[in-house]
Structure 1
Amino acid sequence: MATASARIGVHQQLVAFLRAVLAEPDVPVGRIGVLTPEQWQSVHHGVNDTAAAGPELTIPCPFARQAARAPDAVAVVCGPESLTYRELDARSTRLAREPVGVHLTTLCHGATLDLAQDSSN
């Protein structure tokens, strides 16, 4: 249940909003501010400030760290086959260097671990 001071605050905001509507009847209601400047600052720079200091990470970053930390650990399993982080890193590097679209059919129709396997093997 709202406290008396909260109800008074809401009442004051409603009165201010209605005064603004009456003062500028041609302005669309959605363009009339309902927050006080202090509330606007609080919402936009306080409560809603979700910026967090930290490293910028992309998907390859944690993968590269894990591959460096445990290159011989199993990274992926597909049926009876598995690849270590070292093997997956090598294959993904080869795949990344291929022209766009070369492996698109394989990716869309049941990729397997032999995807981008070095054909010279």
Structure 2
Amino acid sequence: MEVKQILNLAAEACSDKRAENIVALDMDQVSLVADYFLICHGSNERQVQAIARSVKEKMDEHDIPVKRLEGMEQARWVLVDLGDIVCHIFHKDERTYYNLERLWGDASEVSLSIGQD
């Protein structure tokens, strides 16, 4: 499966749990960490955990390995490392504070096809 397809699957998993403001950034030219960042937020800790679980379950369904899953216990900023894609699932307050979109302002936004085949 291509990276862009995995990115859309992860975004769909976030959307399934009503994640807000789902944004994908093309990190290829600005960072060695990953090709894409997928950023979203939930309004409380339980929703943040549900979004992260949804991403992991969606990847498991498609036999896509999750390399790391961090931050589930506190659920203020959960990272789901898919290798070429890093999903940042924030609590609403932390997303505003860290503002990754501004921090990585040189990265272009990628359009997502959530709910489309």
Provide the TM-score with structure 2 as the length reference. 0.25
Higher share in strand: 2
Radius of gyration: which is bigger?
1
Question: Which structure has the higher relative contact order (CA within 8 Å, separation 6+)?
Answer: 2
Higher share in helix: 1
Provide the TM-score with structure 1 as the length reference. 0.24
